[in-house]
Chain A
């Protein structure tokens, strides 16, 4: 959209033929996007940034497939879909997001062990390529090369039923991760089938949203009793605001829960809000307020402190409160109030009680 550098970068990524070129392009993406961050409207910026990330990830997968062929492993034995979870799944990656991924492949008629082995090796190459391109690994090991997140469709369905049937704390956490799952590359149909199963199970196990609520309300909004902002008290981030866990995540979690309850399959928070309004699950003026609050959180999140650790793009999700103007602080407070209101609404809708 009128940004020749970005169009050029997209083209170059699509043509990159080894990981070093990808790494180089990733750095250019970072520099370029950082440069235009201040001048772009946040929604548009977010879309463009995620398109670049998606393209980079897809290119890595293509290169990994080629590498497998070079190693004599042939081409993929069955169709598969490469899934992104977390911020990638929600199309909300920042300049420095980590990898959260999985893979679902079609059930193989012949040798399933060989198939599994192929994807194990493929995903290892993908994860390591992305790592070399500056994407840190997920600390919770939600990665496509983890056998737990690299399965055939049937295996996935069995696992899903197990999680729904026995919603332990861990199982509910995985279900919430899966709710943001999106196919970025490959045969999207497999991902759709998996989501069909997911949403059928939500209807079959109505108590699951209650369990999800317990898990998602852990993160409190950064607002004190007197409507003041809660800042970090100690350490090198003293005085900072935990934008990620105190503003962004609470809103994402609450909207996700509403979407799951309503059977809405969108994964990005904005489209979830819009679809909820469209289906009369949210009054339109409320939806507009949530959307506005979310866009502010998204913008602030893009401003949070970056750390470049051993060539990996990382981010602690915290923002120095000094870097906020007075108007922005007031805007943030009112957005947080909106977030708190939403949390209360979700709590009431799910439990029938007041929070």
Chain B
């Protein structure tokens, strides 16, 4: 017994010195660790934005499609992870051998080192963070598909969008591509993520044509109300919270605490968007419209996404206010040209995304541009039109590319296998036609939707 105790103590003594005299972590390791932790947190926040998209899209559409709308978001996020791992990441950030700044190439079936090298941010975390962004852009695109696209089209479009289209734009602006070299400022993705998603949605909704019952023969529009405004409001809160990972996380470092400033301008943009949208709808329509206000909040967030690191607080407020008003008129405009945009993706992410990217060319300051290390100050700070020109070019080029590519892919889907469900299926609802079960089985009896 005593022998055993002595042996144990001796063994412990052998271990103890090793613990006591192990090297302190270097400043570099600490820095790497804390940055990694922040990016991990930010990744989780951005991934959680999918919850926002589930509620946003479900709340804005009808009960008979609820299960489908919610479920497909999870499925496509899963598929996106595999596709981004297999090819998407490689096209966006692969190796150094970028071909003329047009596309990354390498790191397919991405196999990162298990730990960080050189005390930098582990590539695993960089991958996860970028993947979450790609998934957000994808979920924005689904707005144009809502309530009438076949499930198979979601499958195919995920592969092409996350595998090729999105990574190319990300490469151009963030992956050291030609627009990055030009000094295009898009801090967290007003163009890369939001405008890309919105234009894919636009291509989809144009090819699909409006939902049954959205427009009358004389061209006037009917209101197809979403089935749960509380979901929609809650979704905006979820997205709003997630956005702090999206924007502030895009610093990819704790550093000198600059991420705090980015979060700060983000908050101002969102608030201004909410207020402006509510007031404009009240002033113009005589009623303060909740849906418009929610869209305005998101539009404020989308617009400030490009500029959050480049502008002063007052400018963040102005950018948000303009976005809130813009989203109201944009929604009216799309309805007027008879484009059915059930989730308002084109107005919230498209119009506000363009505005946010251009806003850099107006409001960016030299000081902040130098701090971030991209481009230069905008019109107000420098009096020069240069940055605005760069921003306009990046919007135009990325926009045309995404629109054309998405249109092509979706058109091929339409021709080859059909894009839209049949009229009967649309009327019954996609829950039943695509999945065989309702999201709200107690509320809906099978086939009930046929009369409605």
Contact = CB atoms under 8 A, between A and B. Distances in A.
Interface of A: 220, 222, 224-226, 228, 230, 233-239
A44 to B, nearest CB: 34
Give the most central of B222, B282, B286: most A CB within 10 Å.
Answer: B286
B26 interface: no
A225 B223 CA distance: 23
Contact of A235 (B222, B284, B285): B222
Contact of A239 (B220, B284, B286): B220
Q: Give the secondary structure class of B's interface.
A: loop
B221 A220 contact: no
Contact of A224 (B218, B220, B222, B283): B283
Which 9 pairs from chain A and chain B are nearest by CB?
A238-B220, A225-B283, A234-B223, A230-B286, A234-B222, A224-B286, A235-B222, A236-B216, A234-B221
A236 B218 CA distance: 8
A226 B220 contact: no
Contacts of A222: 286
24 contacts: A220-B286, A222-B286, A224-B283, A224-B284, A224-B285, A224-B286, A225-B282, A225-B283, A225-B284, A226-B283, A226-B284, A230-B286, A233-B223, A234-B222, A235-B216, A235-B220, A235-B222, A235-B223, A236-B216, A236-B218, A236-B220, A238-B216, A238-B221, A239-B220
A228 B285 CA distance: 9
A230 B285 contact: yes
Interface string B215-246: 01010111100000000000000000000000
A235 B282 CA distance: 20
Contacts of B216: 235-236, 238
Nearest to A231: B285
Interface of B: 216, 218, 220-223, 282-286
Nearest to B282: A225
Nearest to A246: B286
Contacts of A220: 286
A264 to B, nearest CB: 32
B80 to A, nearest CB: 35
Contacts of B218: 236
Nearest to A235: B222
A237 B216 CA distance: 10
Contacts of B221: 233-234, 238
A237 B223 CA distance: 12
A239 to B, nearest CB: 7
A220 B284 CA distance: 14
Contacts of A224: 283-286
A163 B283 CA distance: 38
Contact of A228 (B220, B222, B282, B284): B284
Contacts of B286: 220, 222, 224, 230
Nearest to B284: A224
B285 A233 contact: yes
B117 to A, nearest CB: 59
B288 to A, nearest CB: 11
Given A225-B284, A236-B216, A238-B216, 15 more contacts: A222-B286, A224-B283, A224-B285, A224-B286, A225-B283, A226-B283, A228-B284, A230-B285, A233-B285, A234-B221, A234-B223, A235-B220, A238-B220, A238-B221, A239-B220
Contacts of A234: 220-223
Nearest to B219: A238
B347 to A, nearest CB: 16
Contacts of A226: 283-284
Nearest to A220: B286
Contacts of B222: 234-235
